[in-house]
Structure formats: structure tokens, C-alpha cells
């Protein structure tokens, strides 16, 4: 199973073939930064803080 130089963007081996969606995602560092910051911010921080804020005050 070889996937040598599947980076079609600049390599001659890639020729005119379309670049797979997954590879385009993985080749875009700024999209990865967005995903890597947003997902844990929502699922871990925001969800957690909302649950803490929803705890009723002791009477």
C-alpha cells in the first residue's frame, strides 16, 4: 500500500487529478487551527461552563 507523493498540489505525480477533500483539509493549517480550537472550546469549555452556571444556588 503505497501513497507516495499523493500531494497533488505541487508534485508532478499529481498531474491534473483533483485533490481529495481530506487532503485539502489536512493541507490547510489555518482550517485545522479553526477546528482544533473550536471543537474543544464548544464540547469541553462552553458545555462545562454552561452546566456549572445552571447549578441552582443553595437556598
Tell me how many degrees the CA angle 31-26-22 measures, rounded to the nearest 5.
110
**Residues 6 or more apart whose Cβ sits within 8 Å of residue 53:** none
Contacts of another protein in 12-51 (CB under 8 A): 14, 22-23, 25-27, 29-30, 32-33, 35-37, 39-41, 43-45, 47-49, 51
Interface with another protein: number of residues (CB under 8 A)? 37
* Rounded CA separation 26/37 (Å): 15
Residues that bind another protein (CB under 8 A): 1-11, 14, 22-23, 25-27, 29-30, 32-33, 35-37, 39-41, 43-45, 47-49, 51-53, 55
Amino acid at each position: 500500500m503505497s501513497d507516495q507523493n499523493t500531494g497533488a498540489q505541487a508534485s508532478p505525480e499529481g498531474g491534473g487529478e483533483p485533490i481529495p477533500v481530506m487532503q485539502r483539509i489536512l493541507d490547510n493549517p489555518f482550517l485545522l487551527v479553526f477546528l482544533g480550537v473550536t471543537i474543544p472550546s464548544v464540547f469541553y469549555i462552553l458545555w462545562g461552563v454552561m452546566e456549572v452556571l445552571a447549578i441552582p444556588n443553595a437556598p
